[in-house]
Amino acid sequence: MSVEYKGSAAGCKEDDASPSPTLRPNTSQDLSSAPRRRSNKCISNRSGSQGDPLKDNPVRRKRSKQVEIDPDTGLKVGEPLYNDDNEMSGRVVSPTLKQLVHNLFKSGGFENLQGYQLEGHKCITSVDKRLEREAGGSLLYGEVLPEGVARLLDDDHLSVRTAKVLYDFGMGTGKLCLQVFLEYPHLDQVVGIEISPSRYKIGAQALRRLAQRRGFALLADNEHRCKVLQLLGNRRRILEFRCGDAFATLAERSEHDPHVSFVGAADIILLNTDFPESCHASICELLFRMALGARTASYGDLRKMYLAVQQRQLRAGDSKAANRAFPMVHYPINDDSDRFRTTWSPKLGHHFFLFHRGPFLKKAKV
């Protein structure tokens, strides 16, 4: 399967106060809501009347429409970002979407797409390092590139098309969550959780800009949580960033349905992080709590991780561990050659492991 890679959003300006009103999309799109930015409006007259006697006709001129352009995207105000099925299943991410996410992050958007000098690397402080030690997390950093995200979520892989709720455990600065929220307006809830306060702060700042520029309501904005609400027709869409240990959510109930756990409410949970061994037992517990049919992508092989945890539990005298078979089903398409573009492997791509939650039937072979 080939992936068309278009690289960074060429021509992006670093400062979003200097928008590029002439940027045109190369696809028709459907961004859920009309941009509502009131300041910095760019008004362009698209009648293009220069030197054209017909167009210079005063009656004709009177009729020509003034078009308000959204400076973040270069689209007409109200013009949707995505609206066709190709975009939903496609692996080509629109330059317009990249431009939008770039502008929300100012520097540290999609302009610097490779290597180990991303904002998420550079922002780390001693506080982050202390929290990493205390929570047993890992600050190792890298991002799945926009085309890698689109491929992960396409119909052959995690099938975002049939999802409503997506979580990113270890969201970094939250670019993936923002891309997904804007690209797939049928999703009702996208939640990113990040252990590093410095990375969370960059993401929260981008969320604030999103709320301000697109007229979304800011439901929470503090050092632990930043949450925006988009009203789309009669639907409520939530994009939320949290600062903390992602595995602390294992004990949580869903805000929207108290009968379901937070984890059980998800259709897709991304675990694109090299979680240290101290997190592995929690990851195994998470797999059991996922809803049947829910999907996950992981940095490491969850099957191997599960067996290692199970062995440790058996050695520690937990005889029940032997009865609990690995509850996930590996995607047949996801062999070694199934790769996804990342900042640390932009050409070859990184092999993430893809599973969906299957029924818990068999007795474990230990």
Ligand X SMILES: C[S@@+](CC[C@H](N)C(=O)[O-])C[C@H]1O[C@@H](n2cnc3c(N)ncnc32)[C@H](O)[C@@H]1O
Structure tokens at 61: 């001129």
- For the CB of residue 193, give the shortest distance to ligand X in the complex, in Å: 5
Site for ligand X in 241-260 (CB under 6 A): 245-247
User: For ligand X, which residue of 94, 196, 230, 296 counts as binding (CB under 6 A)?
Assistant: 196
- Select from 320, 307, 318, 352 the least CA-distant residue to 333: 352
Would you say 275 or 355 has its CB closer to ligand X? Answer: 275
Would you say 75 or 113 has its CB closer to ligand X? Answer: 113
Q: Is 70 in the site for ligand X (CB under 6 A)?
A: no
Q: In which residue are the tokens 């929290």 written?
A: 131
Residue showing the smallest CB distance to ligand X in the complex = 170
Q: Is 168 in the site for ligand X (CB under 6 A)?
A: yes
- For the CB of residue 127, give the shortest distance to ligand X in the complex, in Å: 12
Q: Is 279 in the site for ligand X (CB under 6 A)?
A: yes
User: For ligand X, which residue of 193, 239, 321, 328 counts as binding (CB under 6 A)?
Assistant: 193
Q: Is 143 in the site for ligand X (CB under 6 A)?
A: yes
Q: How far apart are CA 32 and CA 232, in angstroms?
A: 6
* Residue 364 CB-density burial (10 A; 0-12 exposed, 13-18 middle, 19+ buried): middle
Q: Is 176 in the site for ligand X (CB under 6 A)?
A: yes
- Select from 318, 316, 328 the least CA-distant residue to 356: 328
Q: Which helix (H) or strand (E) holds 283?
A: helix 280-289
Would you say 144 or 210 has its CB closer to ligand X? Answer: 144
Q: Is 194 in the site for ligand X (CB under 6 A)?
A: yes
**C-alpha distance from residue 239 to each of 41, 187, 192, 252 (Å):** 26, 10, 8, 18
Q: How far apart are CA 129 and CA 113, in angstroms?
A: 24
Edge-to-edge strand list for the sheet holding 189-194? 217-221, 225-232, 235-243, 189-194, 165-169, 268-271, 295-298, 353-357, 328-330
Contact window for ligand X (CB under 6 A) among 26-34, 100-108, 193-201, 221-229: 193-201
Contact window for ligand X (CB under 6 A) among 93-101, 106-114, 169-177, 313-321: 169-177
Helix/strand/coil for 232: strand
Residue ranges binding ligand X (CB under 6 A): 135, 137-139, 141-144, 168-172, 176, 193-196, 199, 245-247, 272-273, 275, 279
